[in-house]
Amino acid sequence: MRCLLLWSAFLIGQFAWAQEPPKKEPLYGHHGPRIGLGMATQSTGGLFQNTNDLLLGPIIGWHFEIPLHPQVILQPEVLWMTKGFVIRNPAQGVRSRSTFRYLEVPLLLKISTDKQPDGMYLIGGPSMGYFLSGRYQQWLNGQLNTDVKYDLGSNNNRFQFSAVLGMGMEGPKWGFDVRAQTSVTPFERLIRVQNVVYALTFSYRMGGRPLVVQQED
């Protein structure tokens, strides 16, 4: 009987040793292109306190996802985007447009609202912008009479830091979000105006979980 118990304990121990401990499922990050449409303006107070009309402009770039937790992702992006504003004076038939092209590098934190993969998420974080080029145009009674390159003056800041907030939805391959950002450092030192952009962006998600092919016996 004693030998039987020893042999049973030995076999159970061998069986338990042969079973590998459960491993945590690895986290895989996505990356891919991001495109969208931005509505830019300027403000002296912050979001939704516009001092000028909205200027539409494209957003083109690339995003990267670095998983920190099943529900938390660090999402740096590199974007080419448009900032600026439009001024209309219908009484005098004058319309002017100031267009600023920026290289924007947001460093966002994406937080999923569900433990399941994909679905709804919140985003937020800082962004650094670099002024690339600008243009000033003016129309009088519908006719373009001024079209000049916008050169930064001594009162303008080429670098800008902004704060970004938004929310979105994503699936295994596609995602979209709505976001708003306002500069923290002013575009003009004297007037203290901020560049504001409201945007709708779409992303294509590449990479992520590798495809597992089941082999037939």
Q: CA–CA separation, 130 vs 80, rounded Å?
A: 10
Q: What is the mean pLDDT of the chain?
A: 83
Share of the chain above pLDDT 90, in %: 56
Task: Give pLDDT, residue 201.
Answer: 98
Q: CA–CA separation, 55 vs 197, rounded Å?
A: 9
Contacts of 175 (CB under 8 A, 6+ apart): 168, 169, 202, 203, 205
CB 99 within 8 Å of CB 134: yes
Answer yes or no: pTM beyond 0.75: yes
Answer yes or no: is pLDDT of 158 > 70. Answer: yes
Q: Which CA distances in Å does 92 have to 53, 74, 87, 137, 163?
A: 17, 49, 12, 16, 36
Contacts of 42 (CB under 8 A, 6+ apart): 50, 51, 52, 84, 85, 187, 193, 194, 195, 196
Residue of 204 and 194 predicted with greater confidence: 204
Min mean pLDDT across 84-93, 103-112, 206-215 is at: 206-215
Answer yes or no: is pLDDT of 11 > 50. Answer: no
Is residue 109 within a helix (H) or strand (E), and if so which, with residue range?
strand 94-112
- DSSP structural state of residue 14: H
**Nearest alpha carbon to residue 47 among 170, 162, 206, 215:** 162
Q: What is the mean pLDDT of residues 128-133?
A: 95
Q: Which domains does the chain have, with CATH numbers?
A: 28-86+102-128+159-206 (2.40.160.20)
Q: Which CA distances in Å does 160 have to 39, 77, 86, 123?
A: 18, 16, 20, 20
